[in-house]
Amino acid sequence: MLTSKQRAYLRSMANGMDAIFQVGKNGVTPELRETVHTALEARELIKINVLDNNMLGPREAAEMLSSRTGSEVVQVIGNKFVLFRQSKTKPVIELPKAPKA
């Protein structure tokens, strides 16, 4: 679970990124899930665009892909959303530390 500070940090990183995938009229297919899973392992932070002809809204598509890939939804804005998942092999993004409870 991301803290608000970590989420803000990731949002700032994603600000200049372009969307690398599109969720089209077929919705969240197993092929899309697999390519998003692979991209998250390589990049850790990705932006995805939801096309207007899709039956799902951006929030629903983000939640569905997040649950199927084990990632976190960083942000949903307009027709785009950002996902984050720490790489298992070689982490690239270092998040701000969460405060001790």
Confidence at residue 101, expressed as pLDDT on a 0 to 100 scale: 61
- For 4-84, CATH number out of 3.30.110.60, 3.40.50.720, 1.20.1430.10, 3.40.50.10860 equals 3.30.110.60
How far is residue 73 from each of residues 15, 32, 46, 100, 101, measured CA to CA in Å? Answer: 14, 16, 10, 23, 23
- Please return the burial class of 63, using the count of CB atoms within 10 Å of its CB with bins 0-12, 13-18 and 19+: middle
Domain ranges of the chain: 4-84
Question: What is the pLDDT, as a whole number, of residue 93?
Answer: 87
Q: How far apart are the first and last CA of the chain?
A: 14
Residues 6 or more apart whose CB falls under 8 angstroms from that of 87 comprise 40, 41, 42, 44
What pLDDT sits at residue 71?
Answer: 96
Distance CA 82, CA 28 (A): 15
Please give the chain's pLDDT, 101 residues, in tens: 889 999 999 999 999 999 999 999 888 999 999 999 999 999 999 999 999 988 889 999 999 999 999 999 999 999 999 999 998 888 888 888 877 66
H-state helical runs in the chain:
4-14, 30-43, 58-69
Question: Does the model's pTM come out above 0.75?
Answer: yes
- Residue that has been written with the tokens 């629903």 in this structure: 60
